[in-house]
Amino acid sequence: MQMRHDPVYPSRRSPILADNVVATSQPLAAQAGLTILQQGGNAVDAAIATAAALTVVEPSGNGLGSDAFCILWDGNELHGLNASGRSPSAWGPDRFPDGMPYLGVDSVTVPGAVSAWVSLSERFGNLDLPTTLAPAVRYAEDGFIVSPVIAKLWTNAAETLADQPGFSETFLPGGRPPRAGERFRNPGAAETLREIGRTGGEAFYKGPVAEKIVDFIQANGGAMTLEDMSSHQPDWCGTINTGFDDVDLHEIPPNGQGIAALMALGILEHTEIRDHGPDDVIAVHLQIEAIKLAYRDLHAFVADRDNMTEVNEEALLAPEYLKSRAALIDTTAAIDHGVGAPQRGGTVLLNTGDSSGMMVSFIQSNYAGFGSGVVVPGIGVSLQNRGAGFNTVPGHPNCVAGNKRPMHTIIPGFAMKNGQPLMAFGMMGGPIQAQGHVQLLLRTQLWDQDVQTAACAPRWRMIDGLDVACEPTMPRATLDGLAALGHKITVESPDNAFGFGGAQLVHRLPGGGYVAGSDPRKDGQAAGF
């Protein structure tokens, strides 16, 4: 990696270079991971500590009721973990005559993030779970000072979620969201985190925490049962991948949208993109068109892996199929393929690397900011709204049913080169994640940008049909050129920067150690020693 740092992008951040690194969207959470590394933990322990801390210090994107996915290199082998939860057994299309709700108890599936922490700790951790959760417990009990971007998202969420069961009691102290610079405490979450550590997660899925979650959901008209909670298990699912030149991009298999990133990259393999620079009109145009084609198939065929019986992942990633899709791209005009990106949401992403060579890409999310808006009183558990990822179309592989995983937007990314780990990375933000993976991979691998430059670079986001959102930092010539090709360009103001996600990247250096970058659109940082 040449670590080309391009000064044209508006950021004063430099990449971090160290033997042990953590990159995430909130500085206190990054420091939690570093603390665990300094106590003898490995990259997995640091990831767990960072993820747990994020549930406390960035509640606008995740919580104890989140789902999670992970890709990790253990020093010898790549592993993939799917810790997304399934729907309540009583769910079916008849329960939702008006379509899937976006908020409230009937949008909640079984939360899986805690099971990810437990499984990772048991299989790969050096330290015990109470030790890795200790920084999060401290932030919850003693409080933390709210950071600016999170404060803004908190305020935005309060406008729509104040009336959801339990939300105001936990997240609107004194009747309003905390402002940047104010201290927020969540003692209920502190006690729940202690119980998770003490019982190895048993309390959350089979014990008193599970009982409180189920009782509160049922009291508000939901269908979740203790059996739904206790039967949850994460899956060591491996990864799926496709190549671009000598780099392989790895993603978690469906039910996530990572396959769309693989399809788009596989399509771009058969285009002239190598002849253009990262912000050239044709380079951006080709990426947009490839993403459109990938998302069309994503929405038509992708669901819980067990339900993809008509068209499976092997068919969607077949080289000849991707080559045929590339042939549909017109380099002289944008085409409306009749697709749309997933809805916006709230997610957190983290990447870690340690001096032994272990690397982790981990993502967890409540989906829509604070998720369903439902917060179980007294225990600090905000519940995701992943049920909104289902549809009610009869016969569709992603049609709602009991004990089924919905289609997910959150995806960790991992790049390999010649069978060796290269980069743990990703991007939060529902509609941009697969699109962002493609943009980050091409910037770092095809165009040799260092990870911080890639994180700072201007982004685009396919919305629907010919509509494309772009950041105002994109060169004017590129914006004008895309419009001339027929793209309907909207330049979103900096106030809408959340729609362009938050990237975190950890890139392995040939001589050992890492270079890490963190997105300036978020409050976070890359840190190391």
**Could you list the active site residues?**
347
State both tokens at 489: 């360009």
Q: Beta 488-491 vs 467-470: how paired, if at all?
A: parallel
**Could you count the other beta carbons within 10 Å of the beta carbon of residue 425?**
31
The interaxial angle of helices 258-268 and 433-441, nearest 10 deg, is 40
What does the alpha-carbon distance between residue 385 and residue 100 come to, in Å, rounded to a whole number?
A: 10
**Residues near 408 by beta carbon (within 8 Å), at least 6 away in sequence:** 67, 69, 84, 255, 256, 257, 386, 389
DSSP-derived secondary structure for 380-404: TEEBP-GGGG-B--TT-TTB--TT-
What lies within 8 Å, CB to CB, of 223 at 6+ separation is: 88, 89, 90, 91, 95, 106, 217
Nearest to 462 by CA among 317, 273, 336: 336
Could you tell me if 376 and 211 are in contact, meaning their C-beta atoms sit under 8 angstroms apart? Answer: no
Report how far residue 70's alpha carbon sits from residue 362's, in angstroms, rounded to the nearest whole number: 4
Give which of 469, 502, 412, 492 is closest to 284, Cα–Cα.
469
DSSP conformation letters of 209-271: HHHHHHHHHHHTT----HHHHHT---EE---EEEEETTEEEEEPPTTBTHHHHHHHHHHHTTS
Residue with tokens 């609107």, as numbered in its chain: 172
Q: Helix axis angle, 187-199 relative to 43-57, nearest 10°? A: 150
- Give the E-state strand segments of 119-185 in sequence order: 144-145, 183-184
DSSP 311: S
* 243: β partners: 248
Q: How many residues does the chain have?
A: 529
Place of tokens 């060579």: 357
Compute φ and ψ for 518, nearest 5 degrees.
Answer: -135, 145
Contacts for 78 with CB less than 8 Å, ≥ 6 apart = 71, 72, 239, 250, 414, 416, 421
Which residues are CB-neighbours of 372 under 8 A, at least 6 positions away? 103, 104, 105, 107, 108, 164, 366, 382, 383, 384, 385
Measure the CA angle with vertex 346, ends 168 and 234; round to 5°.
100
- What is d(CA 228, CA 225) in angstroms, rounded to the nearest whole number? 5
